[in-house]
Structure 1
Amino acid sequence: MYPLPTRTVLYSHRKHMKPVPEVGKKYHCFDDGKVRFSRHFIITVDEVLGHQQFKKKYPKEFEKYREAVRGHYWLYSTHSDKFIITHKGEHNELGVYVRTKQGGWFGIGPWWDDATLDSTGELWDNLVKDIDSYDYTEEEKKQIIEEGTI
């Protein structure tokens, strides 16, 4: 028999864990995890719930989370430490973001809320740094950056 992995191995991804978003703050999101200006939208975090709190308050969404974990085992953590809730996703519906296996945040909602949540701002910052590689006019660049500023 092989020995069970140690806690260090089980939680080795923790050094890559992104911070938990804060209630009331705005964050950048990217539809389908594709970091592009055309996939960008902004959410405001309304709630941050623990595992049991989320299960009790949003039982239907908890089942969707369980289904998402089963169907996308390579993406979602099997036991998200927090559930990030927005009541105004890109299309004004409930958006739920959970921990990924890589330590980031990804939405389990339908359509547009199935997205990467950028809790550090680094994805947006890197995209803006690269704006010159796109075929935008100076006016378009300015408008894109202003619209995306939070």
Structure 2
Amino acid sequence: MANLIYINKDILSLDKRYREIEWEYEVKFQQYQYLIKEKEDLFAQFHKKIYDLHQKSGLKNLILTKQIETIQESIDIKEAQLNELLNASKIDQNQLKDIRSTLEESERIKNEAIKHIQQELKTIREAHSTMVKTYEGKLSEFGIPVEELGFDPLVPANI
């Protein structure tokens, strides 16, 4: 009889443990289902973003192609006008070659100057940005909020 009581207690204990495990399983299963749904939602968002980017890049490519075509047409028109002007002015071929080489050399020099100035501008912007960061770092080092100065230092966005 005592053996039956112990067995009954074991059965009750095991039944209680079984219900706890069953409840834990249900909780974990619901968490799993939630994570699966969240994963599917993230994949759907990811694919939508990729599709949108693909559409936007296709549109940008189309716009750039049209711009290139327009520029090429403009260049063709300018060349035709230049050729008409040169034919009308009756300049000989040697003078024409000299004029073209002079213009091309002038264009090359100006393009190099533009590149040099753009590089200098980039260097100055980087130095300015570094200076502003150092300045803000020193302010925070001394416990002074940047907002107390009454102005916000300009930091160029396109360094």
Same fold by TM (over 0.5)? no
Higher relative contact order (CA 8 A, sep 6+): 1
Q: Which has the higher strand share?
A: 1
TM range (shorter): under 0.3
Q: TM-score, normalised by structure 1?
A: 0.20
TM-score normalised by the chain length of structure 2: 0.19
Q: Which has the larger radius of gyration?
A: 2
More helix by share: 2
